[in-house]
């Protein structure tokens, strides 16, 4: 083995800080949608406020606070969406069952009144 030639020395690879975790989502579009279209109990406004706070913290570099506000915005957005979707469905189901119950009650009352007033005239004699 010939060692007379100088070896090519490579500098060691530079190690920087570990890759940062992805920035948290701010859920701003979802919050705007909930605010404009499905604002159940003003939860859309609350979600919008937390989404804006999350975006501000993300821009300023405070990732931990951005995650905290992003989590709150996601929770309020989920509540607003669930309330705005489930409550009309529940109300519709209650209306349908109420109408069915009233129609059954009306049919029974019609049968009762026709029996009462179409009796024979034997009672009058």
- Range 33-62 average pLDDT: 91
Q: Average model confidence (pLDDT) for the chain?
A: 83
pLDDT surpasses 80 at 40? no
Other C-beta atoms lying within 10 Å of the C-beta of residue 36: 10
> Structure pTM?
0.62
pLDDT band at 114 (very low <50, low <70, confident <90, very high): confident
The three-class DSSP label of residue 89 is helix
pLDDT at 19: 58
> How far is Cα 95 from Cα 4, in angstroms, rounded to an integer?
95
pLDDT at 109: 83
> How far is Cα 62 from Cα 37, in angstroms, rounded to an integer?
31
Could you tell me what percentage of the chain is helix, strand and coil, using 3-state DSSP and rounding each to the nearest 5?
70, 0, 30
pLDDT at 111: 72
What are the domain boundaries of the chain? 63-119
- Range 38-54 average pLDDT: 91
The three-class DSSP label of residue 10 is coil
- Output the CA–CA distances (angstroms, integers) from residue 41 to 19, 33, 36, 108, 109, in the order listed: 41, 14, 13, 41, 41
pLDDT at 31: 94
């Amino acid at each position: 083995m010939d060692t007379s030639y100088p070896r090519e020395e490579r500098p060691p690879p530079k190690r920087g800080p570990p890759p940062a975790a992805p920035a948290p989502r701010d859920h701003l579009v979802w919050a705007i949608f909930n605010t404009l279209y499905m604002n159940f109990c003003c939860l859309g406004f609350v979600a919008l406020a937390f989404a804006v706070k999350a975006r501000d913290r993300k821009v300023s570099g405070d990732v931990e606070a951005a995650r905290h506000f992003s989590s709150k915005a996601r929770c309020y957005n989920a509540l607003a969406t669930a309330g705005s979707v489930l409550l009309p469905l529940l109300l519709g189901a209650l209306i349908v069952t109420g109408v069915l119950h009233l129609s059954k009650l009306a049919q029974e009352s019609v049968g009762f009144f026709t029996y009462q007033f179409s009796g024979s005239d034997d009672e009058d004699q």
